[in-house]
Amino acid sequence: MLVRLAWLIVITTWSAAALAETTADRWNLAEVYPSLAAWNADAVKLEAQLTEFAACKGHLGDSAARFRQCLDLQADLTKRYYRLGLFSGEQLAEDTGSGPSLELDQRADILGNKLKEAGAFVDPEVLHLGKERVAQFLSEDRGLAIYRFPLDRILRRAPHTLSDEGEALVARFGLMNDAGSSAYSILTNADIPWPKLRVGSEDVTLDDSAYTKYRAGADRDERKRVMDAFFATYKTYERTLGVNLYSQLKQDAVYSKVRQYPDSITRVLDDNHVPVAVFDTLIAQTNANLPTLHRYFRLRAKLLGVPQLQYYDIYPPLVHGDYRFPLATGRQLVLDAVAPLGKDYVQTMRTGFDSRWMDTYPRPHKLSGAHMADYAYDVHPYVLMNYNDDYDSVTTIAHEWGHAMHSYLASHAQPFVTAHYPIFIAEIASTFNEELLLQRMLKEAKTDDERLFYLGTSLEQMRGTFFRQAMFAEFERAVHARADAGEPLSGEALTKTYCDILKRYHGVKEGVMAIDDLYCVEWSYVPHFYNAFYVYQYATSIAASSLFAQKVGRGEPGALERYLDLLRAGGSDYPYELVKTAGVDLATPAPYQALVARMNSIMDEIEAILAKRK
């Protein structure tokens, strides 16, 4: 399905507030479709429009007017499908075990594939028209101006576009594109029999959500038992999950060959005209700065009071404290934090909080984690949370509502065809808001312990969003390269590849950390790998957002407006160029070095507090 989901794994255990959930805590999907009958009616309309659209085949070049008519029809079809897909996808997210919701989502997928097949002729025909003819149409009909950038994207990809018959054939195979991801989601969210574990005084079903909570527990022995049991379960399914991921890698390799790209990474990045140099610079800079990551791990060991840091020691907070944030408090903290972005920004976010744009608390079979879905262009963004009254939940609100506000601003500034922005930009808005939240919390911290708590949380965010995602990206590059070369990859081979990278990043050779080989099956726990070369954008984004946040925070002239203009720009230009225009070049070492410098400065502050205590 085409609805973009911005994932962030969060805690989804039961709080008192969750048990007292009310309608106000559930999103209102009736604003998308008031009933299943309304969804069905729109689906029927889409089918009728597909028939009308078929008459455009072979006639895009008849005249500027006909060209515009057909492009307008395609845009309306796509907008309708996205709305249908958002509704079905979010209904399934509410209850991943619901048969009717799964069937509805599958129906949306089928409609999406029909749309792909119906539109397969467009790119080849535009290419046949050529730049001069397209430019002539643009000059003859001002209404075509909104399509200038989308048309440029088509014309730029001329060497990788097939004939009409070839594009139609590729579109037919599109029905299988999400097979690996769908199977993974159902297997891990609904079908795997998760182990039961006694943690403290609780009997816990150790699924993905519970693991996210209990891996951060205070008791070290319990953390080990949690991680052992959790990854032992994934190890049981290593072969199946290996076959599943390998099928996705092979599919990506086939599409790359069909599109005449040298490899999968070049094909995927070229979709948004992102230079491979961005990816290469990220990996090179991450590896060059592993000593900073290792410094953090040594500091963590010191604060936790353990002689040898283990992999199950990387998640508990550096400073313990009873910091609870009921939903009302968490929402207000985020509203206060984003105040530097202006009154309109704050008021729109407040409206979303008060108008049921968010599904807040965990429930049985609800999709784990958090995401923002923004493809109901004429409605508003929707946010899925699993709020648990802790600080991680507050940061997740800041993160996901960064996405939501990005989409809101883009949708109100751009026509549908250029409103949707790629992930390369998306994670800038989310991590920017997290940085603003940190600054707000540090400003209000009343004790050194509280300050250490927030500083430690920030370090963990940088580790998780920058170093960890770069590690994932390096793993992706390695396994995609092997699939591109036609090499076999079993679950065991995937585990070995991941294990080598995991241990290098965490300084096992240097004695920084010890990692049990069982935990090397962690690759199978990461859903992002079913979306090729997705995760690197978290790392590039936090590097960019840290610079933007610094500029806005210190009141640099024009910085706020340039940042908001970046959000309003949506997908109106290539994302690398938009970010570069706003002042950050992600193909250079500068943003990554700035983030690492920020991380070192936080560790300097933590060590100063510790020294003062001595």
Confidence of residue 550 (pLDDT cuts 50, 70, 90): confident
pLDDT above 90 (res 160)? no
Tokens 């609904």 locate to 190
Domains of the chain: 24-169 (1.20.140.70)
**pLDDT at res. 190:** 81
Q: 449 or 72, which is more confident?
A: 72
Asked whether the beta carbons of 292 and 596 are under 8 A apart, the reply is: yes
**pLDDT at res. 163:** 81
How many angstroms separate the CA atoms of 116 and 20, rounded? 44
Who's near 333: CB < 8 A, 6+ residues apart?
A: 325, 394, 437, 440, 441
How many angstroms separate the CA atoms of 27 and 24, rounded? 7
How many angstroms separate the CA atoms of 212 and 230, rounded? 10
The percent helix, strand, coil of the chain (3-state, each to 5) is 70, 5, 25
Question: Looking only at Cα atoms, what is the longest distance across the chain?
Answer: 81
Cβ-count burial 175-204 (b if 16+ within 10 Å, e if not)? eebbebbbbbbeebbeebebbebebeeeeb
Q: What is the pLDDT of residues 297-341, one digit of tens each?
A: 999 999 999 999 999 999 988 877 678 999 999 999 999 999 999
Confidence of residue 20 (pLDDT cuts 50, 70, 90): low
**pLDDT at res. 14:** 45
Q: What is the pLDDT of residues 470-519, one digit of tens each?
A: 999 999 999 999 999 999 999 999 999 999 999 999 999 999 999 999 99
- Average the pLDDT over 429-436 and give the result: 92
Percent with pLDDT over 70 in the chain: 96
Confidence of residue 17 (pLDDT cuts 50, 70, 90): low
Token digits for 61?
Answer: 């070049």
**pLDDT at res. 7:** 34
Q: What is the pLDDT of residues 521-540, one digit of tens each?
A: 999 999 999 999 999 999 99
Q: What is the 3-class SS of 521-535, one letter each residue? A: HHHHHCHHHHCCCCC
**pLDDT at res. 106:** 94
Q: Is 202 a catalytic residue?
A: no
**pLDDT at res. 34:** 97
Q: Which amino acid is at 518?
A: L
Tokens 């160029």 locate to 577
Token digits for 540?
Answer: 């590039």
Token digits for 149?
Answer: 């950038």
Q: Any bridge partners for residue 197, and if so which? A: 204
pTM over 0.85: no
Q: What is the pLDDT of residues 359-388, one digit of tens each?
A: 999 999 999 889 999 999 999 999 999 999
How many angstroms separate the CA atoms of 122 and 126, rounded? 6
Token digits for 378?
Answer: 């004429």
Asked whether the beta carbons of 235 and 196 are under 8 A apart, the reply is: no
Of the residues 167, 238, 400, 460, only one is catalytic, namely 400
Whose CA is closest to 81, among 413, 416, 381, 404?
Answer: 416
Asked whether the beta carbons of 552 and 559 are under 8 A apart, the reply is: yes
Tokens 């429009």 locate to 49
Token digits for 10?
Answer: 């969060």
pLDDT above 50 (res 393)? yes
Asked whether the beta carbons of 208 and 188 are under 8 A apart, the reply is: yes
Ramachandran sector of residue 200 (left: φ over 0; alpha: ψ -120 to 50; beta: rest): left
**pLDDT at res. 4:** 35
Token digits for 125?
Answer: 């025909």
